Amino acid sequence: MQTVVSQTSPPKKSILYDPKVRGVFYQVLLVAIVGYLFWIAATNAIENLQRAKIASGFGFLNNTAGFDISQTLIQFSAAGSDYGDAFVVGLLNTLIVSAIGIFFTTILGFLIGIARLSRNWMVAKVAMVYVETLRNIPLLVQLLFWYIAVLGPLPQPRNSIEMGAGFFLNSRGLFMARPVYTADAWAIPAALVIGLVGSFIYRRWAKAQQERTGRQSPVGLVTLGLVLGLPILTWIVLAIMGANPISFELPRKGTFNLTGGMQILPEFVALLLGLTTYTAAFIAEVVRAGILAVSKGQTEAAGSLGLKPGQTLRLVVIPQAMRVIIPPLTSQYLNLTKNSSLAVAIGYPDLVQVFMGTVLNQTGQAIEVVVITMGVYLTISLVTSALMNIYNRRVAIVER
């Protein structure tokens, strides 16, 4: 009897063969190893820091900086500012070069991407050579090249090149007029906001009207007029009324240097050129892939509906291509922002150069500085990818 029972019941398994038990075991092992490594690292770090007599904690951010930065968007001086201010200066410099770089690289990248698909053989080949060359040379080499190429031919400050309209060019950068705002200057941004709101309302009205009557309105022209024209008009009216909202402070030539005005560093120009041209090559490929991803049937269907080529492009191809283009485009923007850290190689005072370079060397507080700097880049990346996920969910093709 007993033998029969043992045959019908499932064979007794060892607990070690249970996948759940094994899973728990592997995870406990992983936690133990990682935890042990962290513990070793932490104890060693504490011991090393004590031996080197390096303070820990974030108190150093309030210490006087004691060094100057060549480009500051906020008030900064060696004696009167602390490391926290230096951090803000570096961060702002990183953000401004990234923002301007993203603006220009988008234009250049789209142009080259479209040029690669041009039916004009010459244009397509030149665009291809551009992309292949720029993509296959490290950004660092390109930046160093631009730095020499930009800086090399420029004269000493005393022999500045005068370009008229208050523009001066010398080895310390491009000097130009600095706008000085008077009390009435608020009217211009106000006009811009009104223009934006107005164009938004007009767009909704135009869309409703098109759906009702089928007639199209010149949306682009009106938007341009409202957004650009209104502020300019405000400026002109104010100027005629004698209350000039913006005056310009021109740089003056001194014996050794130029004073006043606004200065654009050659490092900034080189970094901007390098980042823009390099990232544009990648964006061009993204754009090309996006346009090719729209099937030919879409264009033909639009044509058979009677849309003109321009309308086909605007209403059928581009909206569908954008769905493919936007995610990798965003990651290119992120790459540009991260690559702006190469500024350290040519001495543009970005976050890495100021904070991870000078501040780290002066204070020796490696852990805190590295954590803050990485945290900044990580925050930018994670926020962008979170926004990207929301966008993707909105534009994803809704399937049955």
Partner 1 sequence: MSTTVDIPRFVRAKQVEALPPPNLARGPIAWVRENLFSGPFNTLLTLVVFYLLYVSVPPLVKFLFIDAVWSGTDRAACRADMGGSETGACWAFIREKLGYFTYGSYTVSERWRVDIFFALLAIGVGWLLWLKAPRRDLGAVYFFWLFPILSYILLTGGNSDFSGRFWIGFLIFGVLLIALFAFVAAILKTSLRPALIIAGGIVAVIGITLALMDIDFGLRHVPTSLWGGILVTLLVATVGIVFSLPFGILLALGRRSKLPIVRMASVIFIEFVRGVPLITVLIMANTMLPLFLPGDMTVDRLLRPLIGTALFASAYMAEVVRGGLQAMPKGQYEGAMSLGLNYPQMMILIILPQALRIVIPGIVNTFIGLFKDTSLVAIVGIFDVVKTIEASRIDPNWAAPTIGLTGYAFAALFYFIFCFGMSRYSLGVERRLAAGQKR
**Out of 21, 32, 45, 292, the residue judged to bind partner 1 by CB under 8 A:** 45
Q: Which of 305, 374, 386, 387 binds partner 1 (CB under 8 A)?
A: 374
Residue 270: which of 155, 162, 168, 139 has the closest Cα?
139
Name 353's Cβ contacts closer than 8 Å, sequence gap at least 6. Answer: 90, 343, 344, 347
DSSP letter for 263, please: E
| Residue owning tokens 């400050």 | 157
**Piece of 73-81, 95-103, 155-163, 352-360 that binds partner 1 (CB under 8 A):** 352-360
Q: Quick one: CA torsion of 289, 290, 291, 296, rounded to 10 degrees?
A: 90
Question: DSSP character for 40?
Answer: H
Question: Given the complex with partner 1, which of 46 and 228 has the nearer CB atom?
Answer: 46
Sole window of 3-11, 27-35, 60-68, 169-177 interacting with partner 1 (rule: CB under 8 A): 27-35
Contact in structure between 175 and 169 (CB atoms under 8 Å) = yes
Structural contact between residues 100 and 85, judged by C-beta atoms closer than 8 angstroms: no
Shortest CB 84 distance to partner 1, Å = 19
Q: Which of 143, 245, 144 is nearest to 187 (CA)?
A: 245
Give the C-alpha separation, 222 to 225, whole Å.
5
Q: How far is the CB of 153 from partner 1 (least distance, A)?
A: 10
Judge contact between 222 and 201, C-beta under 8 A: no
User: How far is the CA of 306 from the CAs of 64, 268, 310, in angstroms?
Assistant: 69, 49, 11
Residue 118 CB, shortest distance to partner 1, in Å, is 7
- Is residue 182 within 8 A of residue 247, CB to CB? The reply is yes
Pick out residues in 68-127 that bind partner 1 (CB under 8 A): 118-123, 126
Write down the least CB distance from residue 111 to partner 1, Å.
Answer: 12
Whichever of 47 and 300 has its CB closer to partner 1, that residue is 47
As a whole number of angstroms, the distance between CA 351 and CA 90 comes to 4
Nearer Cβ to partner 1 (234/267): 267
CA pair distance 67, 111, nearest whole angstrom: 42
Measured at the CA of 344, the angle between CA 338 and CA 345, to 5 degrees, comes to 110
Q: Which of 27, 62, 244, 259 binds partner 1 (CB under 8 A)?
A: 27
- Fill in the per-residue mask, 151 to 190: x = in contact with partner 1 (CB under 8 A), - = not in contact: -x--------------------------------------
| Nearer CB in complex with partner 1: 144/187 | 144
The number of residues that bind partner 1 (CB under 8 A) is 58
| Shortest CB 272 distance to partner 1, Å | 17
Q: Does 366 bind partner 1 (CB under 8 A)?
A: yes
Residue ranges that bind partner 1, judged by CB under 8 A: 14, 16-17, 23, 26-27, 30-31, 34, 40-41, 44-45, 47-49, 51, 118-123, 126, 132-133, 135-142, 144-145, 148-149, 152, 338-339, 341-342, 344-345, 352, 356, 360, 366-367, 370, 373-374, 377-378, 380-382
